[in-house]
Amino acid sequence: MPGHDYETLMPLAEAQELAMSRARPLRPVRIPLDDALGCVSAEDVRAPEDVPPFANTAMDGYAVRSADTVGAPVELDVVGVLAAGAAPTVAVGSGQAIQIMTGAPMPEGADSIAIVERTEAVEAGKVRILDEVTPGLHVRAAGSDIGAGVVAVRGGTVLTPAYLGVLASVGTGLVRVHRKPRVGVMSTGDELVELDPDGGTRSLAAGQIRDSNRHALLATVRRDGFEAVDLGLVADTEDAVTERVERALAECDAVLSTGGVSMGEFDYVKVVLANLASAAGGDAAVHVLQVAIRPAKPLVLGWLPALGAGAGDPGGRRRLIPLFGLPGNPVSCLVSYQVMALPVLRVLAGHRAGPPPTVPAVAAEDFWRHPDGKLHLVRVHVGWRDDGRLEARPTGGQMSHQLAGMAMANALAMVPDGDGLAAGEVLEVLPVGPIG
């Protein structure tokens, strides 16, 4: 029987460690540079040549011999003009200057630039240099950004726009990165109603509610830089859940489902994952967790073999897909994603492993609570105070169905088990959106 254990309340850090313990980066692929924003590079990229490739001027002005400017103002003979992109044909001799534009190569003989603002036109063919210039002034040496042979971008780097620019500057058109995980998202629940594709509002029959989790999760997955795959709504039957999970195992690198993980009569997600893990055997596993947090206590964490074309890795071993049976309550679902699923998805995408980082903030109000064995994750808005410190203020209703309060929050405040804390005390917050 593969791992299939019903846990008692598990501290968050332990649950995160368990979730991340099997996560490995996805196999690297080579993709066009312009598609690589946010990806993690999978190899060191060395500069095959100097950047810049030749010494050039950083300013518009005159290329001169610095020795000629001693005792400035001095007058020099202008023997040419150099634009960016031009190749120098004449050298700068003693007593001479070449007019030069930013980016143009330094001509032979010249060692510095007199900027145009500090020169005066005199008679045709002459220029007056007003200041002495020092050797090398305003000259950008070949290789002064990145030298030939130097590692321009290390493996493991998150490719920001500026790093993509660096790769372009060393001529890398295709870049080897960890593939972005394809993350499937499904909502389970017989009470759920799909949005009207025509923009109307479908009326709700008795007992029905609208599916908000799938839309919020699909967007969250995209926001975090992964590829989102909409796996739709799933009815509360064992067959329906099995069919959709199997489809997900053929199409996705990770799966998020919501609902059906509590203690209810029709909570099939854990049953289905446990059955599939049993059938798969070997290293497949399912953990039915009660994480010591509020909200988002229940979580089913599965590792099941990929099906179909993507089933194996190069070593011939079968590839295991992480599945997160997130709670159905909308706030719990998003909180569980942040603290449990996101760290695993980040590892798949090649990011350094680790729990999500928190930052300290001053409690703007009292955060009283009662001891219950759980870490409370309070939805807060975090902003800067005049003294440069962050402060955290709870946003709206804090019950696990009150999504409006979650929407106003840009962080989750960690209020440890106990009686809470008073306004002015410092707590750790986990950013879940832009701070400001």
In the complex, the residues that contact ligand AMP under the rule CB under 6 A are 187, 189, 191-192, 209, 211-214, 258-262, 264, 327-330
CA atoms in the 13 A half-sphere facing the CB of 361: 30
9-43 per-residue burial string, b: 16 or more CB within 10 A, e: under 16: ebebeebbebbbeebebbebeeeebeebebbbbbe
DSSP code per residue over 50-96: -BSSS-EESSSEEEE-GGGGTTSSEEEEEEEEE-TTPPP-S---TTE
- The residue of the chain with the least Cβ separation from ligand AMP equals 328
Q: Tell the smallest beta-carbon distance from residue 423 to ligand AMP (Å).
A: 32
Candidates 149-157, 218-226, 328-336, 359-367; binding stretch for Mg ion (CB under 5 A):
328-336
Between 88 and 328, whose beta carbon lies closer to Mg ion? 328
Q: Tell the smallest beta-carbon distance from residue 233 to Mg ion (Å).
A: 11
Asked if 302 touches Mg ion (CB under 5 A), the answer is no
Q: Are 1 and 282 in contact (CB under 8 A)?
A: no
Candidates 21-29, 118-126, 189-197, 345-353; binding stretch for Mg ion (CB under 5 A):
189-197
Residue 192 binds which entry of Mg ion, ligand AMP, none, CB below 5-8 Å type-dependent: ligand AMP
Q: Tell the smallest beta-carbon distance from residue 271 to ligand AMP (Å).
A: 13
Between 260 and 302, whose beta carbon lies closer to ligand AMP? 260
Q: Burial of 212 by CB count in 10 Å (0-12 exposed, 13-18 middle, 19+ buried)?
A: middle
Q: Tell the smallest beta-carbon distance from residue 261 to Mg ion (Å).
A: 8
Asked if 189 touches Mg ion (CB under 5 A), the answer is yes
Q: How many CB atoms lie within 10 A of CB 201?
A: 8
Q: Tell the smallest beta-carbon distance from residue 186 to Mg ion (Å).
A: 12
Residue 305 binds which entry of ligand AMP, Mg ion, none, CB below 5-8 Å type-dependent: none
CA-to-CA dists, residue 375 to 9, 34, 122, 416, angstroms: 11, 42, 78, 5
Residue 394 binds which entry of Mg ion, ligand AMP, none, CB below 5-8 Å type-dependent: none
Asked if 259 touches Mg ion (CB under 5 A), the answer is yes
Q: How many CB atoms lie within 10 A of CB 230?
A: 13
Distance CA(427)–CA(366), nearest Å, equals 11
Binding residues for Mg ion, rule: CB under 5 A, are 189, 259-260, 328
